[in-house]
Structure 1
């Protein structure tokens, strides 16, 4: 059995991310007799929800559960207002708690509910997906989507804790698990190359959490540590935190124009290849580092090209123009100038963009 790993996320307030068997026992630390708790859950997480309700009830909490639509369909204004109405009917106060159970979409939504109800109540996240634990649940970003783009409405609201039992990750489909690994690989390229080495040593084991639970915990802990270090230095994405968006400008554009039918990690995977191509054409990275993007991601079974993308350039370009990192009409990309050396490329030439796009189409 793999040991529990704890990563401390600094800031005000600071909190811990616990990854390992039996971490649900720590949920009771965040309740007291009589405290009301709303558990916001993704469909198909009934076992985890039942265990959480039992742990909360044993600590004396009054628990209410609700299931929201699956994946990105949960992150809408309609779902959000429905949850606000539920909290209002139940008389939730600032002393109460919101718990998110599910993948990244649910932790984004539950966090935003907590951030906005009475201008902020406590939350605890129980991510049940790889994407959720290494990305969405850590860092205090919360939000919903609009018709104009992903995560354009949100707030910074750090949770009180993040708890993830590796057994929850083993319930995921292989495709969903591998998609979440894109965010892990991203952390390897921008800050911790050991992640890349662990994946390259045995991509098949890295892609299967049941094959090597200790490797799964190690990959999660390393990715969380990268995010924790960045977030502690820049909670509100004023400067350094932008590096966590490596591959996301193009990736979010793909998600938008595909109506969120692409998995987030799959889109980010192509997005990382796109910015590697962009950096290579701008003279920032060599051919070996560019090739390593395709080899690492491809070995896990992640996409490195956007089929049909050649005919979608106008749509992609317009969607990237609405990216949160843009300033006015100027595009800003997180790129590398070497392994684990992220930087920004501001206002690249349009022909450079077209060329990089052609390379991933």
Structure 2
């Protein structure tokens, strides 16, 4: 049995039951369709919106429930991954993009953008990554030139989650010559000069649509600037702790699901006249994974509590992301191995999970970047290592 999770209250488990019943009844059967077409349907976002599950933090004036408790988002993500697919990126909409509007948008901007985000009619994405910059956000080349009553936006972005079905993009762009001088702009997909590039094909996560986008002389009204035009880098840094916590939640939820699938398989599958789970190697592998999953879950749950209190440090968020993504990779790899040849077949879910998991050690900051953040927090910066 998994280790008890003490940070959740009875109301969180009631919410879990509600989400689970809905997903099993209305969305679980759609996963093969999602995988074939390469994205969820727009109606899936509006269904989440109708249930009140998008942007839980949004106020009632915008149609939201005003629930500022990340534990509900954690439960929602855990159940989504268990009963549908890790590629349904509603968490990116609500908890990666949404916080930029929550923290930095004016009241007028919130009134324009949040009702659609809460209902699911406006699907949100964030456009930071560029072909030549990767994790070095300070080096982005997309440029926004101040033209008086608007900014003129030019450049390109890649690996944009929700890029194909997205309507609203929070775009990071240079606003000056100084390295790291960045502004954040709300760009709508219908703006003149906005164009969608390739729907990118990936090793895994077929349900999560990933795209390239281009901006060719896009006129962005001044009213679509979020906060100060030179503070975008600081704004991104401010939101990254929660983003990495959400990434850790996804990774560990995926790992837990892979463990459960594997446990069921090794109990039922027989070799040499007995269940695969009866062999000592299987017992030892599964025991080790159970212990590591429980330890990671306890740490992650405490990070969620700290994030709720706005006391989560960048170093702790990086550690959670590093730990959970690495555990995820180890669990799905061991799970596939214990499935034997069956694990290599598409008809077995562990095959999909193995491919889907690999990106977790790359997106939202690579494992190497996470280690760099943690190391510098220990006072081991470049000067200390010379």
TM bin (shorter chain): under 0.3
**TM-score by structure 2 length?**
0.25
**TM-score by structure 1 length?**
0.27
Larger Rg: 2
